[in-house]
With several copies, the nearest count.
Chain A
């Protein structure tokens, strides 16, 4: 079990011939991920790490039954890659690429919704399910271990730190995914919380947030409203960070007075979510919550 990816996940790597694409294909294969194809327009017919490379995602789906895609193509071509995956019928798309124009992201997410597909990212480290040995992402393999904690994070390396701590105390992870570091992403905390709620393997959920946006505030509201049935532990980075670029008055108008570490932490606390002071406290709190 776990969420979004599992043993039936068959991955096509879009941009497999690039530096990052080929490097991480190797690491994903090592982890156990079923990489069934790669794409690179104009390089169809070759192989990389023993994986067949096609010109189009359509071929990867038809010939190799790929159902999940991970995208490494440069930002300028990412929108096209995502739309191609959607068109080919891919239902889970992990977008590693950073620097995608927000207009492109917005369009892709809307079209994904129309196709009932899930976009993870952009600018995400991806998703990993240690129990089923599936990693569709770029996180360091050894920091994750079989387990029961669901992690959703807006961060990359910070997530690895936290996952590692959780691995060290023996809880491990059911699924860990990065929502992506961009302002607009395919998944938010609430949607992931919903999925973890129904996942039998997940015993507790960790949310790693940061300043900016109101995803944390909405997650807090959700936890409270549905009386979330599993322990939720949150950490919010950026108490000492400068406020992000201010989006004129409009930013303040659409979000209200939210978006600082303080408003997020307060919202979590008010909703009964345990808030960790430091990333290293998360593991300690989990121990507390799950003892007995």
Chain B
């Protein structure tokens, strides 16, 4: 789960990492008074859970409170990268001397957390990583040993810092690690972490992504789950379904993420375009299948619904019942192509065929049929 920038910054502060003076607002009036309170030029940053908002116009400077009001009026309520801007973070404009980078994330192949830092912070950090990897210092954390303050100093020392900066920067890195552990984060990042004119360090940006699987240990966030998702995706997640919107017109419902992706790839191979990714997981009951089909039917783009089920834990009769219930409840009429094999295959097939729905045994055949259908 992605945290909003202001949430991440609150956590940073709690762990002793300085962040810019700022305030979250939801109205232009409040943006104006926040700017007044800060008493110097500010930056208005849209609080949306998507990367790259800067380039998409989600971050704008304002040199005085009036301007802050004007800009906030435009930004609030607007759509950035498909997400509505509900709140802004009004922050003092920093007098930046230098931009650095620091983060902690999960290194899948090393099966450990990894701490990263660089003197080359800012939006081009990925290019730096590619072109001058030596400018990024990385340290994989031994899971059984942990990460101590001295590890942070080793990193910062390797970046070439000494004196007070060594201490300050390494304290920040150590705090990022502590946040990662305490919040079960998959990512804690500050980019840029900046040095300002008085020589101190400030986390100009802050990102925290919490491991979804660990949310049960962090009840404080349970209320605000799914905010990072579009409407349909959030609705799917509320039912425990994994869903992603795409731009095609063949709606897919599959059991298993790998099979779902393979199905989408097949659609493409045969000349069609998938409208979505939807994995119903293992062992889904009719009720859940129903919700999945309903979500697909709610999307106007979807010209045909393709269901691909290889029943293992999932029972084909449950799938069949779920499909029929969804059709009944919504009353929406769209072509439906079902491939059904595995556990309780015969029962499932009968239920559907009794309702006049043709059932395929072979995936490729089913996908071809779906592509043929949308082509008219």
Interchain CB contact (< 8 A) of A239 among B154, B170, B256, B265: B265
Q: Decide: A161 near B259, CB < 8 A? Known: A84-B148, A102-B213.
A: yes
Q: Give complex CA distance A214, B191 in Å.
A: 24
- Residues facing A in B71-120 (CB within 8 A) are 101, 103-109, 111-114, 116
Interchain CB contact (< 8 A) of B209 among A45, A101, A248: A248
A240 touches B274 (CB 8 A): yes
The reply on A139 being an interface residue by CB < 8 A is yes
Interchain CB contact (< 8 A) of B136 among A140, A156, A253: A253
Chain B residues whose CB sits within 8 angstroms of the CB of A125 once the complex forms: 312
Chain B, 124-142, contact with A by CB distance < 8 Å: what is the 0/1 string?
A: 0110011000001010001
Interchain CB contact (< 8 A) of B148 among A41, A80, A105, A235: A80
> In the assembled complex, how far is the CB of residue B153 from the closest CB belonging to chain A, in whole angstroms?
6
A83 touches B116 (CB 8 A): no
The reply on B261 being an interface residue by CB < 8 A is yes
- Selecting from B158-166, B324-332, B346-354, the interface stretch reads B158-166
Interchain CB contact (< 8 A) of A140 among B105, B259, B262, B312: B312
The reply on B234 being an interface residue by CB < 8 A is no
Q: Decide: A106 near B111, CB < 8 A? Known: A56-B157, A140-B342.
A: yes
Chain B residues whose CB sits within 8 angstroms of the CB of A114 once the complex forms: 144
A242 touches B277 (CB 8 A): yes
> In the assembled complex, how far is the CB of residue A84 from the closest CB belonging to chain B, in whole angstroms?
4
- Selecting from B181-189, B196-204, B297-305, the interface stretch reads B181-189
B259 touches A246 (CB 8 A): no
Using C-beta atoms within 8 Å of the partner chain, give the interface range for chain B: 35 or more
> In the assembled complex, how far is the CB of residue B308 from the closest CB belonging to chain A, in whole angstroms?
9
The reply on A99 being an interface residue by CB < 8 A is yes
Chain B residues whose CB sits within 8 angstroms of the CB of A210 once the complex forms: 257-258, 261
Interchain CB contact (< 8 A) of A154 among B184, B258, B364: B258
- Selecting from A3-11, A224-232, A277-285, the interface stretch reads A277-285
Q: Give complex CA distance A218, B108 in Å.
A: 12
> In the assembled complex, how far is the CB of residue A259 from the closest CB belonging to chain B, in whole angstroms?
10
Query: What residue of chain A has the Cβ atom nearest to residue B364's Cβ?
Result: A280
- Residues facing A in B44-64 (CB within 8 A) are 51
- Residues facing B in A72-91 (CB within 8 A) are 75-77, 79-81, 83-84, 87
Q: Give complex CA distance A100, B211 in Å.
A: 10
> In the assembled complex, how far is the CB of residue B217 from the closest CB belonging to chain A, in whole angstroms?
7
Q: Give complex CA distance A248, B50 in Å.
A: 10
B258 touches A237 (CB 8 A): yes
A250 touches B105 (CB 8 A): yes
B105 touches A110 (CB 8 A): no
Chain A residues whose CB sits within 8 angstroms of the CB of B113 once the complex forms: 106
B259 touches A157 (CB 8 A): yes
B265 touches A278 (CB 8 A): yes
- Selecting from A30-38, A181-189, A197-205, A266-274, the interface stretch reads A181-189
The reply on A155 being an interface residue by CB < 8 A is yes
Chain A residues whose CB sits within 8 angstroms of the CB of B364 once the complex forms: 278, 280
The reply on A257 being an interface residue by CB < 8 A is yes
- Residues facing B in A44-103 (CB within 8 A) are 44-45, 55-58, 75-77, 79-81, 83-84, 87, 98-103
Interchain CB contact (< 8 A) of A249 among B108, B125, B163: B125
Interchain CB contact (< 8 A) of B143 among A81, A87, A110, A156: A110
Chain B residues whose CB sits within 8 angstroms of the CB of A87 once the complex forms: 148, 150-151
Q: Decide: A55 near B363, CB < 8 A? Known: A155-B257, A183-B106, A247-B186.
A: no
Q: Give complex CA distance A107, B181 in Å.
A: 12
The reply on B359 being an interface residue by CB < 8 A is no
Query: What residue of chain A has the Cβ atom nearest to residue B115's Cβ?
Result: A250
The reply on B149 being an interface residue by CB < 8 A is yes
Q: Give complex CA distance A246, B107 in Å.
A: 13
Interface-central residue, B154, B246, B259, B364, by most chain A CB under 10 Å = B259
Q: Give complex CA distance A103, B178 in Å.
A: 13
> In the assembled complex, how far is the CB of residue B345 from the closest CB belonging to chain A, in whole angstroms?
11
Chain B residues whose CB sits within 8 angstroms of the CB of A134 once the complex forms: none
A157 touches B191 (CB 8 A): no
Query: What residue of chain B has the Cβ atom nearest to residue A76's Cβ?
Result: B216
B103 touches A160 (CB 8 A): no
Chain B residues whose CB sits within 8 angstroms of the CB of A140 once the complex forms: 311-312, 342-343
A99 touches B213 (CB 8 A): yes
Q: Give complex CA distance A110, B244 in Å.
A: 33
Q: Decide: A181 near B162, CB < 8 A? Known: A157-B310, A247-B186.
A: no
Q: Give complex CA distance A158, B214 in Å.
A: 27
Q: Decide: A157 near B112, CB < 8 A? Known: A107-B143, A184-B106.
A: no
Chain B, 326-342, contact with A by CB distance < 8 Å: what is the 0/1 string?
A: 00000000000000001
A80 touches B149 (CB 8 A): yes
The reply on A215 being an interface residue by CB < 8 A is yes
Chain B residues whose CB sits within 8 angstroms of the CB of A188 once the complex forms: 109
Chain A residues whose CB sits within 8 angstroms of the CB of B277 once the complex forms: 241-242
B144 touches A160 (CB 8 A): no
Chain B residues whose CB sits within 8 angstroms of the CB of A43 once the complex forms: 163
Q: Give complex CA distance A26, B269 in Å.
A: 40
A239 touches B101 (CB 8 A): no
9 additional A-B pairs beyond A42-B166, A247-B106, A254-B138, beta carbons within 8 Å, are A20-B313, A99-B213, A102-B106, A109-B111, A161-B262, A208-B258, A213-B109, A252-B129, A278-B262
For the complex of A and B, the 9 pairs showing the least CB-CB separation, nearest first, are: A155-B258, A157-B256, A84-B150, A101-B214, A158-B258, A110-B143, A237-B261, A250-B105, A253-B129
Interface residues of B (CB under 8 A from A): 51, 101, 103-109, 111-114, 116, 125-126, 129-130, 136, 138, 142-145, 148-151, 153-154, 157, 162-164, 166-167, 170, 181, 184, 186-187, 189, 191, 207, 209, 211, 213-214, 216-217, 244, 246, 254-259, 261-262, 264-269, 273-274, 277, 281-283, 310-313, 342-343, 363-364
Please list 6 pairs of residues, one from A and one from B, whose beta carbons are closer than 8 Å in the complex, sorted by A's number: A103-B184, A140-B342, A161-B259, A237-B262, A240-B265, A254-B138
